[in-house]
A and B are shown apart, each in its own frame.
Chain A
Amino acid sequence: MATGHSALRSLADLDLPRSKIPQRNMFRLATRAVRPIARYPLARAYATEASGAGKLRLSFTLPHQTLLSDVEVTQVNLSSSEGDMGILGEHVPTVAQLKPGVIEIFSATDKPKKFFASGGFAIINPDSTLNINALEAFPIEELDVDAARRALDDATRRSTSAATEAERVAAKIELEVYEAVVTAAGKQ
């Protein structure tokens, strides 16, 4: 699976610069302890569903590719640093930081799409637009579980044997991303 492998490669490449700059918050997102699944965003999201939700307009962009631009969808599920969220129309405006994980997009017309994103931001605006800015994202079918497992083992080894603090943090970030990749790819 050449495509899956290249997907992983770019995820790993993306992590490289982080090794030099572990103290920055921006790059620390992945090292944050995994919090329990969010309590209220989920609850509120589903509350609006009952009231006949408005249309959610989604823009899903990467720096080098526009995956979806202002497309009407019914629901988006994503995992943020606050916990997993299910977003419908008229969701409460939120600024959420993405964790490495699956972004699930449901629309009325198409089949549900699943992407794996390494990190970024999701912003829900008052006018029911959702902007997802990720750094790397790939359709989940393109992920290669075996390559991810190998990379996961490698990252685990390096996270314990790293000489400097910076290397250790970088390896931990990689570890978390690959863990998420393995979980995501295993589920499909």
Chain B
Amino acid sequence: MLAVRSLPRVASAATGQPAISFGVQTRNMATLKEISVRLKSVSNIAKITKSMKMIASTKVTKAQRVMETARVYGNSATALYQHTGTSTNEESGKPLVVVVSSDRGLCGGIHSSLSKTTRKYLSAHPEAALAILGQKAKAQLQRDSRQQIVVTFDSVAKNLPTWTEAALIADEILKTGIEFETANIIYNKFKSVIAFDTVIVPVHSYKALLESPKLSAYEVEDPVLKNYEEFTLANTVFWGIAEGNASEMAAKRTAMENATKNAGEMIQKLTLTYNRSRQATITNELIDIITGAMAV
């Protein structure tokens, strides 16, 4: 007797799959349509994430190239600090914090890692002033440190980072008239395509430079040193933007790759459920027909 035997099988197909629920019931005819709608939307998402991944991977090579020259430049520009032994004087003057993030999301923990480091720094230095590059870090940081924010910049490094852009940003920061002892640039240092480090790089004011122990070895005039401070601020901001951009693109690529993989898995499971419930519906219809035929 077909009808009697097939009933429990239908039941097990319908209820015995708690793993493939996806928030939709896998029970009757109505769900068949729901599943197909969901299947379609997931495969559309997969298409989007896949193309985003492709875009990010082309951008990551470009950003990496820019980052490498910027890193050489930044290291060379700040080599003076190592030679003079300049250090931060915690007592005098308030520190300035420059957070280098961006406007775009969908790139893993890049921005929240910046905010976390910044919050940690701010809790140790509550008097610090904040300058924020990029909307993401702004949105995260203005929740609890709104009063400390002095200036923010949107749409930073829309394309590849340029020095001119960094110089303008540095100039705007200086125009706010903050008297800082040390400007701490917080950015994501690019380690490899799968890893980044959130680091704090100091830019010392010329006063701090004047007080450094080994500056007397150098032949330098005061106005030149003041110019050097402003130049170094611009350089380090540029360095931070370049490194942050490379890290962001690499993180985006990884995030999008994972998203595509997850969507693929979801499609597979949904297809399975779809086919099972289709089969179950057919079986049900067969039972109806056969029972009807037997009753006649």
Tell whether A pairs with B. Answer: yes
8 Å CB contact of A64 from B79, B163, B174, B235: B163
In the bound complex, what is the Cα–Cα distance between A24 and B168 (angstroms)? 11
In the bound complex, what is the Cα–Cα distance between A125 and B167 (angstroms)? 25
Give the interface size bracket for B toward A.
35 or more
> Is B2 an interface position by the 8 A CB rule?
no
In A28-79, the 8 Å CB interface with B consists of: 29, 41, 59, 61-66, 69
Check if B69 sits within 8 Å of A66, measured CB to CB. Answer: yes
8 Å CB contact of A61 from B73, B171, B225: B73
Check if A131 sits within 8 Å of B79, measured CB to CB. Answer: yes
In the bound complex, what is the Cα–Cα distance between A82 and B225 (angstroms)? 13
Check if B69 sits within 8 Å of A121, measured CB to CB. Answer: no
A84 to B: closest C-beta gap in Å: 15
B107 to A: closest C-beta gap in Å: 24
In the bound complex, what is the Cα–Cα distance between A63 and B228 (angstroms)? 16
A176 to B: closest C-beta gap in Å: 16
Stretch at the interface among B134-142, B213-221, B246-254: B213-221
In A122-139, the 8 Å CB interface with B consists of: 123, 125-127, 129, 131, 133, 135
In the bound complex, what is the Cα–Cα distance between A21 and B171 (angstroms)? 8
8 Å CB contact of A131 from B76, B163, B223: B76
Chain B residues with CB under 8 Å of A64's CB are 66, 69-70, 162-163
Given contacts A93-B218, A126-B217, contact A25 B76 (CB under 8 A): no
In the bound complex, what is the Cα–Cα distance between A24 and B73 (angstroms)? 22
Check if B235 sits within 8 Å of A26, measured CB to CB. Answer: no
Check if A63 sits within 8 Å of B76, measured CB to CB. Answer: no
> Is B153 an interface position by the 8 A CB rule?
no
In the bound complex, what is the Cα–Cα distance between A185 and B102 (angstroms)? 41
Given contacts A24-B171, A133-B235, contact A93 B79 (CB under 8 A): no
B272 to A: closest C-beta gap in Å: 52
> Which chain A residue has the least Cβ–Cβ distance from B209?
A95
> Is B224 an interface position by the 8 A CB rule?
yes
8 Å CB contact of B69 from A16, A25, A65, A125: A65
8 Å CB contact of B79 from A16, A26, A96, A129: A129
Q: Pick the most buried of B226, B231, B234: most chain A CB atoms within 10 A of its CB.
A: B231
B90 to A: closest C-beta gap in Å: 25
Chain A residues with CB under 8 Å of B77's CB are 61, 121, 131, 133
Check if A25 sits within 8 Å of B230, measured CB to CB. Answer: yes
8 Å CB contact of B228 from A13, A93, A121: A121
Chain A residues with CB under 8 Å of B174's CB are 24
In the bound complex, what is the Cα–Cα distance between A92 and B235 (angstroms)? 25
Chain B residues with CB under 8 Å of A66's CB are 69, 72-73
Given contacts A62-B73, A64-B66, A131-B79, contact A94 B171 (CB under 8 A): no
Chain B residues with CB under 8 Å of A59's CB are 72, 76
Chain B residues with CB under 8 Å of A133's CB are 73, 76-77, 231, 235
Check if A61 sits within 8 Å of B72, measured CB to CB. Answer: yes
Chain B 166-201, CB-CB to A under 8 Å as 1, else 0, gives 111001001100000000000000000000000000
Check if B223 sits within 8 Å of A25, measured CB to CB. Answer: yes
Check if B219 sits within 8 Å of A92, measured CB to CB. Answer: yes
Given contacts A59-B76, A63-B69, A63-B163, contact A97 B83 (CB under 8 A): no
Chain B 66-84, CB-CB to A under 8 Å as 1, else 0, gives 1001101100110110010
> Is A162 an interface position by the 8 A CB rule?
no
> Which chain B residue has the least Cβ–Cβ distance from A60?
B76
Q: A93-B218, A94-B220 are in contact. List 4 more A-B contacts (CB 8 A).
A: A26-B227, A29-B227, A64-B69, A121-B228
Task: Give 4 nearest A-B pairs by CB, closest first.
Answer: A63-B163, A26-B230, A95-B220, A93-B218
6 CB-based A-B contacts, threshold 8 Å:
A25-B227, A26-B230, A61-B73, A94-B220, A95-B225, A126-B217
